């Protein structure tokens, strides 16, 4: 879709008017270079106003940064804006700039010479912008490869081993040190059998937001973090250059008009704004596509306003506005050539090949990569049985049911599926239709995790969710509290509304501000009104009491359910069971040789698929966990749950009894203050 805007007005030429258009003053006005002070004032203000129209798109473009506009549901909005940009650029060229360029041709000049002059400058604009883009190419892939290479600190036979630290507690600080694997040798085989009932987690199936890292070598080993720098495409800079030149001509026009009379100046300024505002929306979309975020794009647009100011000053300092326009007549066709290059050679090809991001995903290739990585992990870790599979991390429901079914089939064919298994799919309220849900069910999915997050329209806008309160009330139920501008009463009403639907499980999460996100930046600049700590605590306590009154027990700090409706997926984490993360950005906790390992996958889908195709897996880092870290993790996660930490699970990892970890006085103090319930000694 291409939209074209046309304003018929000769706004780049100031014509001679007779004396009846001039204003008469009773006293001699103050003049600067032959023009009165009011003409200077109005000209500069009008030129600045036209230039600052570039920040108008902030009011109409959704609150997402440019990088996020390229992914998920927001990609369609960017495509629409880019189509708008192509139309506005072409309309500007053929109905505005080129007609004005023809109008500047001297009357005594022959038609052929005029055509050659205008055509010459159009070609100069096209070739000039092409040359700049070739000199400064968009080397995204190469830049990513170079900036995100890993520092390999181990050779091919390195197991990335780490010395286990001594476990230090009050009870054994002076007397005990943990001797990790030596204390486990007698029970190793039995323990591997006991924990063979594992949890398999498939993370980030389709919607990915993290920056990918390319792997140059295998085996996986310790890496150094790479700095993530946003790369701005050359198209963005070219568009800014063209806008500066275009604003220069606008400055000439408004200043020349005010030299005739204030009335003509105001009319000309209004005419320019009328066509320039839609044009600026398109320019803004181009900047977002090029890698600018909303605020950087707005600042860049404001800088282009200097071109208009310079144009106004040039017109006012010349002998006449008409002569200034004639001397700079080459600017109009040159800008036309630049706009044609940006619209037809930079933006339009991308629009034609990127009609739908999801359709461009090669699901067959992706499925084959999942299958290969599943086989690799199952073989290396000797997994015997699976109880839970979780498709999560983003919006995996965007995947085709055949892809989900293929992954499940691969698991079923290679390991035993326990009788009480749970296969969960994460979805958003408006991602799937009923027929697609039936296909997911037939593929093996028996549980849905639905990200409602909030019933407040303002909260959903801040979180960039594309569903409404009405959409959410048709289903259920992950909710977030502690959102910007949220109050206790509003939160309580939302929670009751959800519970009255008769849900059997609900997960409540407090908003977390991650560094580098748009919300975090707003919070850093004191532009985000987050509830105070006391209010957030009150929200949580109200949640506990409200859920209890509806029959849902708190079986974990943030999870509530009716009896026998607890999430197997969640409980697997908290009980210290193994889980294998398959796919981009996934994490794992796996046992091998009686030692617990942490696996971290490559983040982005494309680099992950390349690695799986080359190495058989996309694991970029394996860390042999220190025994102290394993025990602390067990302790912390176990204490989050209602059933607590079972000593049998603890004994799988440590030869020291759970009760020996604390002094009796410490335990008594925690029990007396109702911080700890101890039902075995």
Residue where the block lists tokens 């604003």: 247
**Which residue ranges in the chain fall short of pLDDT 50?**
1-26, 64-68, 72-73, 140-198, 202-229, 355-360, 394-395, 466-467, 469-476
Q: Which two tokens stand for residue 132?
A: 């700049």
Domain end residue (candidates: 354, 383, 403):
354
Residue 317 and residue 287 share a domain:
yes
Would 115 be classed as within a structural domain? yes
Please say which residue of 320, 354, 388 terminates a domain: 354
345-403: per-residue pLDDT in tens?
A: 777 877 776 544 444 456 788 888 888 888 888 777 777 788 888 876 544 555 678 88
Could you tell me if 249 and 339 lie in one domain?
A: yes
Say if residue 310 is in the same domain as residue 263: yes
Q: How far apart are the C-alpha atoms of 208 and 72, rounded to whole Å? A: 9
Q: What are phi and psi of 426, to 5 degrees?
A: -85, 130
Strand order in the sheet with 553-556: 478-481, 505-510, 559-561, 553-556
Distance set, CA 644 to CA 54, 507, 676 (Å): 58, 19, 9
pLDDT score recorded for residue 648: 79
Asked if 41 contacts 294 with a C-beta cutoff of 8 angstroms, the reply is no
β partners of residue 506: 560
Same domain, 446 and 460: no
pLDDT of residue 116: 77
Do 380 and 413 sit in the same domain of this protein?
Answer: yes
In a domain, 22, yes or no: no
Chain-wide mean pLDDT for the chain?
A: 70
Structure tokens that stand for 606 in this block: 């494309």
Look-up of token digits 């189509």: 83
* Claim to verify: residue 96 and residue 194 sit in the same structural domain: no
Q: Is the same domain home to 437 and 380? A: yes
What pLDDT, on a 0 to 100 scale, did the predictor assign at position 549? 94
Q: Write down the pLDDT at residue 60.
A: 64
Residue 488's CATH number: 3.30.750.200
Angle at 188 between CA 571 and CA 634, to 5 degrees: 30
Of 481, 480, 478, nearest to 450 (Cα)? 478
Q: Which domain holds residue 498?
A: 454-562
The residue with tokens 């830049």 is: 143
Same domain, 263 and 120: yes
Buried b (16+ CB within 10 A) or exposed e, 609-647: bbbbeebbbbbbbbbbbbbbbbbebbeeebebbeeebbe
Q: Is residue 525 part of a domain?
A: yes
Angle at which helix 234-260 crosses helix 262-289, to 10 degrees, equals: 180
Shared domain for 476 and 540, answered yes or no, is: yes
The DSSP string of 516-563 is TSHHHHHHHTT---PPPHHHHHHHHHHHHHHHHHTT-EEEETTEEE-T
Q: Is 445 found in the same domain as 458?
A: no
Given 354, 370, 401, which residue is the final one in a domain?
354
d(CA 361, CA 43): 52
Token pair, residue 207, equals: 């919607």
Residue 556 CA, distance from chain mean position:
30
Burial class (CB in 10 A: 0-12, 13-18, 19+), 430: middle
SS3 letters across 561-596:
ECCCCCCHHHHHHHCCCCEEEECCCCEEEEEECCEE
**Residue 553: both structure tokens together:** 């027990």
For residue 60, the tally of other CB atoms under 10 A from its CB is 10
Residue 102 confidence (pLDDT): 75
588 and 500 share a domain? no
495, 479 Cβ separation under 8 angstroms? yes
363-369 contact pairs (CB < 8 A, 24+): 363/399, 363/400, 363/402, 363/403, 365/609, 366/403, 366/605, 366/609, 367/402, 367/403, 367/406, 367/407, 369/608, 369/609, 369/612, 369/613, 369/618
Structural domain tally of the chain? 3
Question: Are 596 and 637 within one domain?
Answer: yes
7 domain-assigned: no
Contact 231, 143 (CB under 8 A): yes
């Amino acid at each position: 879709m291409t939209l074209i805007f046309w304003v018929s007005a000769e706004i780049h030429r100031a014509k001679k008017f007779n004396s009846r258009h001039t204003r008469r003053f009773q006293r001699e006005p103050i003049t600067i270079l032959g023009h009165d002070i009011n003409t200077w004032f109005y000209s500069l203000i009008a030129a600045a106003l036209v230039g600052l129209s570039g920040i108008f798109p902030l009011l109409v473009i959704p609150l997402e940064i440019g990088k996020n506009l390229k992914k998920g549901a927001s990609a369609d909005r960017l495509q629409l804006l880019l189509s708008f940009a192509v139309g506005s650029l072409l309309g500007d060229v053929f109905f505005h700039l080129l007609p004005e360029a023809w109008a500047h041709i001297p009357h005594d000049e022959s038609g052929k010479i005029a055509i050659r002059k205008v055509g010459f400058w159009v070609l100069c604009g096209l070739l000039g912008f092409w040359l700049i883009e070739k000199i400064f190419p968009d080397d995204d892939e190469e830049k990513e490869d170079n900036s995100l290479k890993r520092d390999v600190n181990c050779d091919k036979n390195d197991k990335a081993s780490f010395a286990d630290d001594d476990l230090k507690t009050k009870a054994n600080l002076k007397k005990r040190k943990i001797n990790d694997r030596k204390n486990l040798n007698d029970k190793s085989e039995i323990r591997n059998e006991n924990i063979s009932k594992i949890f398999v987690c498939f993370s980030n199936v389709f919607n990915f937001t993290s920056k990918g890292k390319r792997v140059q070598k295998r085996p996986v080993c310790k890496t150094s973090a790479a700095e993530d720098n946003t790369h701005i495409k050359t198209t963005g800079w070219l568009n800014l250059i063209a806008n500066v030149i275009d604003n220069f001509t606008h400055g000439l026009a408004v200043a020349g008009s005010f030299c005739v009379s204030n009335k003509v100046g105001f009319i000309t300024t209004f005419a320019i704004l009328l066509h320039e505002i839609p044009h600026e929306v398109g320019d803004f979309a181009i900047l977002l596509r090029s890698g600018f975020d909303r605020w950087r794009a707005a600042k860049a647009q404001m800088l282009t306003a200097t071109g208009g100011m310079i144009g106004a000053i040039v017109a006012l300092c010349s002998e006449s506005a008409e002569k200034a326009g004639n001397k700079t007549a080459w600017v109009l066709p040159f800008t036309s050539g630049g706009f044609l290059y940006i619209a037809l050679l930079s933006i339009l090809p991308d629009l034609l090949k990127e009609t739908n991001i999801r359709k461009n995903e090669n699901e067959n290739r992706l499925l084959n990569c999942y299958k290969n990585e599943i086989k690799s992990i199952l073989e290396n870790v000797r997994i015997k049985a699976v109880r839970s599979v979780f498709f999560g991390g983003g919006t995996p429901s965007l995947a085709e049911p055949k892809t989900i079914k293929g992954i499940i089939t691969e698991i079923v064919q290679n390991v035993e599926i326990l009788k009480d298994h749970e296969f969960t799919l994460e979805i958003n309220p408006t991602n799937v239709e009923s027929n697609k849900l039936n296909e997911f069910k037939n593929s093996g999915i028996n549980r849905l995790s639905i990200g409602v997050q909030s019933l407040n329209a303002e909260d959903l806008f801040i979180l960039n969710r594309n569903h409404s309160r009405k959409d959410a009330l048709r289903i259920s139920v992950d909710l977030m509290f502690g959102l910007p501008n949220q109050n206790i009463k509003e939160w309580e009403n939302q929670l009751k509304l959800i519970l009255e639907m008769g849900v059997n499980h609900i997960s409540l999460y407090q908003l977390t501000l991650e560094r580098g996100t748009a919300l975090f930046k707003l919070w850093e600049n004191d532009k985000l009104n987050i509830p105070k700590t006391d209010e957030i605590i009150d929200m949580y306590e109200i949640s506990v009491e409200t859920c209890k009154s509806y029959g849902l027990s708190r079986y974990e700090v943030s999870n509530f359910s009716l009896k026998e409706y607890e999430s197997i997926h969640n409980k697997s984490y908290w009980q210290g069971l193994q889980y294998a993360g398959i796919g981009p950005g996934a994490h794992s906790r796996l046992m091998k040789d009686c030692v617990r390992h942490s696996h971290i996958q490559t983040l982005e889908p494309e680099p992950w698929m390349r690695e799986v195709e080359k190495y058989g897996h996309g694991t970029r880092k394996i860390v042999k966990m220190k025994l102290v870290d394993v025990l602390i993790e067990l302790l912390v996660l176990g204490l989050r749950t209602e059933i607590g930490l079972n000593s049998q699970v603890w004994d799988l990892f440590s030869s020291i009894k759970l009760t020996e970890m604390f002094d009796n006085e410490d335990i008594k103090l925690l029990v007396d203050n109702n911080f700890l319930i101890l039902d075995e000694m």
